[in-house]
Every structure is written in C-alpha cells, then in structure tokens.
Amino acid sequence: MTLVAWLGYQRKWRVLWHPAHFLGIAVFLGIVGTYYALSIAAFGFPLQKAMYVLWDESVKRTGVAFGVTATVLHILTFPFEYIFHFLPFTLFILLFYPSTPQKSWSTVLASLRRYTSPLDSFLRFCAITFVANVLVYWVSPQVYARYTLMLLPLFFTLVVVAYYQQEGHWQRRWIEVFMGSVMGITVFAVWIAFGIEATRKLPYVWGACLATSGVVGVMCWWYFHQKEVRLDIFVVFLLVARISFNFLFVPPREAKRQRYLEDNVKAALMTMDAAGNALPLKSYKTTIGDDGATDVNSFHIEATRRKVLPISFKKEKGVYYLADSSNLAGEKYKEIARLTLYPERPAKIVRFDQAP
C-alpha cells in the first residue's frame, strides 16, 4: 500500500517494476517457504491446512466475513473509535484545524502542494503513507486498535511539526493546557494505588508513589516556566508515567499469572525424560483453541519442552495428552498430572493407551 500510494502520488508507476522489489519478494517467499517446509517436515503440518489458515486469517476481519451492514457500521464509527483508543494523543488532531475561520481546508491542502523542501516532502510521505495504510483498517470490521500501532510514528511526526508551526495560535494553547492538566492530575492520581488491594500490598508502594509524585511535581513546575520545551517535558512525563505504571500495576498481573506458569511448567516436565528430551505430547481436541487465553498455557508448555504443542483428535499409543475436563468427559485414561488452564480451567496430562 505504501509503495502504490507514494509512487502513485509521484506518478512513478514504472518504479514498481524495479528489480529490487522482485528481489524483496523472492527473499520473503524464501524465508516463509523455508518456515513452512520445516513445519511440514518436523510436525507433518499439511500444506493445504496452512493455505487454509492463511486465507482464513486474511478474510476473517473483512467485509467478506461480516457482511455489508457490519462493514458500513464500522466505516462510520472507526474514526471515533480510533480517536478514543489512542487518547490523549489523538487530541493533537486539533493542531491540524485551520487557525482562522478564513483559512479553509482547501487552502491548507493547496499549500501542501507547493511544498518543495526535503522536510515538506517527508511530511507528505508521512501523511500519504498514514492515510493509505489506515484505509485498510477503516474498511475492515472488527479490527483492534493495536493493529495500527505501527502507523502512530507517522501520525506523531505530523503533529509534532504542526505543534511547532502553531506557535501563538489557540490550538497550541489548548493542547498545552491539556498537557499541563494531565501532569498536574497525575501528581495526586498516583496515590490511588493505596485504594487498590493488589497494589497497596506492594512493599515499595510508598516509595513508588512518592517518587512519581515528586518527579512529576518538579516537571509540572518546569513545564509552567519553560514554555519553549513544553512538548519535550510532556514526552518525558509520559515515560515517567509508564515506568511508574510498570512498578505499581504490572507486578499484580504477574503474580496472578505466576501460578499458571508454575503449574504448566510442572506438567510439562512430567512429559520429559531424564535427559530433558520432550516425550510426545499433544493437546486433545479443543483443549487448546484459537482464543487468546489458551496462549498463556501453550506458551509455557512449549517453552519448557522446546517443542510445538500440536492439536490432535485421535488417541495414539505412546503419546501424552493435555486435556481439560470437558474433553475428558466419558473418556477412559490414566492420569499423569493435574494443572489449571487459564482462566481457572481444570485440566490433566493423561495417557489413553494406559487406561485401566
């Protein structure tokens, strides 16, 4: 999309046929082809199924899968959802609004065409690339905000330049009021950690809150006295806020999932021999599905065993199976180990060929 949009804008369609592009395609096919060849050789993964998965993953979030109604609704709501998910950064869109009522959007667009400096050319590239790529997600129902994270640097480049070009205008003043307000609120908001059970039990909660509140407080003072570098100060503030969040709110999440990690590692070790080699282990039926929650389990098991956990609907001799209670209903088996799958789903490591 980027190549087509940029070369189309420059009317340089012939560049699309440059040998370098075909070399890049060949390298891509070589890497991906090698991956699938090794998967087929090592795990017997059928090529037909691989092609089906690729096609299914390509169309599952498009209008082909969801129909016209869902697609039209998504097209109408996507801009507002995008702004919401990336708040407060998307509020910087205000900087693109004409500074005076007399300066219409057509005038702004016309001025872009007259840009000739390298910086202006780069800004045009950022704008065209952002629009060309975001359109793909705009017309695809059920996309998540994280899918467009790679486009944000293009957006940030444009808003930063717009910020410095709007000196003295009301758009920049409102943005600066907003940034200062967020920083000021954070000085006090960080203490909410004492109102949350999971965070107030942290041994360093006092130190983290004091450090965050103190550092952000100093930054607020600096922010209101150094008008020329307010955007820079706000960027540093975001970094401090992120580090503070990691110290205060990530550990409780880690502790919550630690039990799953230990449980799955213990079960995985029971399917390995004394030399540390992985014995045959498969996920039985729908125990490990395509939902995000099961990734928590399969990741730890595969990382411990250093082997992919395949799915099987067959009962084979000499094979261990990971199966939850719903898939074991009515089955005869020998229990090897018990574990808990995320979220709070009882499961077992079993052998069907050793059933009593």
Q: Which residue stretches of 114-229 are H helix? A: 118-138, 152-165, 170-189, 197-200, 205-225
**DSSP state letters, 58-114:** HHTTSHHHHHHHHHHHHHHHHHHHHHHHTTTGGGGGGGGS-SSTTS-HHHHHHHHHT
Over 60: is that where the pLDDT of 53 sits?
yes
Q: What residues make up the domain containing 113?
A: 66-166
Tell me, rounded to whole angstroms, the distance of Cα 220 from its chain centroid.
31
174 and 214 in a common domain: yes
Task: Say whether both 71 and 151 belong to one domain.
Answer: yes
For the cut 90, the answer to whether the pLDDT of residue 172 exceeds it is no
141 and 78 in one domain?
A: yes
Answer yes or no: is pLDDT of 193 > 60. yes
Where does the pLDDT of residue 114 fall: very low under 50, low under 70, confident under 90, or very high at 90 and above? very low
**What is the mean predicted confidence (pLDDT) over 45-53?**
74
Are 182 and 161 in the same domain? no
Structural domains counted in the chain:
4
Mean pLDDT, range 232-242, rounded to an integer:
91
> From CA 66, how far away is CA 5, in angstroms rounded?
27
Which tens digits make up the pLDDT trace of 142-170?
Answer: 777 778 888 888 888 888 888 887 777 78
Instruction: Clarify whether residues 290 and 238 are in a common domain.
Output: no
Token output for 321: 């199976």
Q: Which of the residue ranges 24-28, 230-234, 267-271 would you say has the lowest mean pLDDT?
A: 267-271
Tell me the pLDDT band of 115, cut-offs 50, 70 and 90.
very low
Tell me how far apart the alpha carbons of residues 264 and 340 are, in angstroms, rounded to a whole number.
Answer: 8
Those residues whose C-beta lies under 8 Å from the C-beta of residue 346, and which sit 6 or more positions away, are: 324, 325, 338, 340
Residues 42 and 98 in one domain: no
Angle, nearest 10°, between helix axes 205-225 and 170-189? 160
Tokens at 317, concatenated = 């001799």
pTM: 0.66
Query: In which element (H, E) is residue 33 found?
Result: helix 19-43
Residue 283 in any domain: the answer is yes
110 — pLDDT class (breaks 50, 70, 90): low
**Averaged over 235-256, what is the pLDDT?**
85
> Cα(221)–Cα(211) distance, rounded to whole angstroms?
16
Are 52 and 74 members of one domain?
Answer: no
Residue 263 lies in a domain: no
Residue 105 tokens read as 């959007």
- State residue 118's pLDDT score: 54
Amino acid letter, 152: L
- Predicted local confidence at residue 116, as pLDDT: 45
